[in-house]
Amino acid sequence: MAYPDTHPTHASDLSQWRDQLLLADAIQIQHLKYPSGEGFCYTKERHTLFMNLTARPIHYVQMQDGKTHTGLYRKGDFTITPAGMQFSARWQGDENCLRIQLSDRFIRSVAQETLAGDSDRLALLPTFQSRDPQIEAIATMFLTELQQEQPGGALYRESLANLLTVHLLRQHGMTQPQLPSYEGGLPPRQLSQVLDYIDTYLQQDIKLADLADLVGLSSFHFVRLFKQSMGSSPHQYLIQQRIERAKRLLQQTDQSIMNVALDCGFNSHSHLSKRFRQLTGMTPKAYRASC
């Protein structure tokens, strides 16, 4: 597993790094591809997760925390390196992996807001060749985001970052903190405030933090309470509302489908068409013709 912000082994490494995505300063994600080689990683303030994406197993010799691990990594196997710890590896075969880095500041903020206990005492454990279906699913969704940006991307990525962080702390931390219980969803007044905001700024890239700030909650608690109230996540609701607006515009105006897409917060005709077909079973053009 190779490391873009340290000292690459191959002179061609810089040309092989691709698909970098930055979400504020909280999370950095890169899809990395390298030939056989070696490398090392050290980041003082970022926790690093590498997930293998190769179709066939790849051989690694890895070292961290004074320990050495040798193994064949299958697709979905991952390694965790806490902030401030050096990690090195050698591999045989063409490497293909996803690197996810979470800032220590972000992890502690999420821990303080969403997990019971002293956040200053929470820390990730160094891990070799582990498997976790939920982490693999979240990483796959991040990879899709890297490969093709979707409408509502900021809100979606923030939700994934919070979900990943809480799961890492609960399942791969030094303690097993319990989530506090919140029942009943958002109060009607707060829910109405959030729904009005979404409707007002539907064509913009709405951020999860903005919605949570409206009602004075952490992003993680907001997502949970919103889903209790609406039966869907904020991102799912946002897409549903954009499609509903698109349906009205297709019915009531003669705007081009491209203009309808932009008015509804989609960044292209194809993005609108993809989401529209997913939710209605037909294309925007076919829907307009049926009206």
Q: What is the pLDDT, as a whole number, of residue 116?
A: 57
What does the pLDDT look like over 177-227, one tens digit per residue? 444 444 568 887 888 889 889 988 988 888 888 899 999 988 888 988 988
Of 88 and 176, the structure prediction assigns the larger pLDDT to 88
DSSP letter at 173 equals: B
55 or 10, which is more confident: 55
Please write the tens of the pLDDT for every residue from 44-78: 888 999 999 987 788 899 999 889 998 888 889 99
Give the list of residues 6+ apart from residue 67 with CB closer than 8 angstroms, or none. 126, 128
- pLDDT of residue 82 exceeding 50: yes
Q: Summarize pLDDT for 143-179 with one digit per residue, the tens.
A: 887 776 655 567 777 788 888 888 888 887 765 444 4
**Rounded-to-integer distance, Cα 241 and Cα 160, Å:** 20
- Is residue 47 classed exposed, middle or buried when 0-12, 13-18 and 19+ CB atoms within 10 A define those classes? buried
Place of tokens 């970022």: 46
Is residue 288 within 8 Å of 250, Cβ to Cβ?
yes
Q: What is the DSSP letter of 267?
A: S
User: Measured between alpha carbons, how far is 276 from 264 in angstroms, rounded to an integer?
Assistant: 11
Instruction: Report residue 145 as tokens.
Output: 């985001």
* Rounded-to-integer distance, Cα 186 and Cα 286, Å: 37
pLDDT band at 79 (very low <50, low <70, confident <90, very high): very high
In this prediction, residue 24 carries a pLDDT of 52
Q: What is the pTM of this model?
A: 0.62
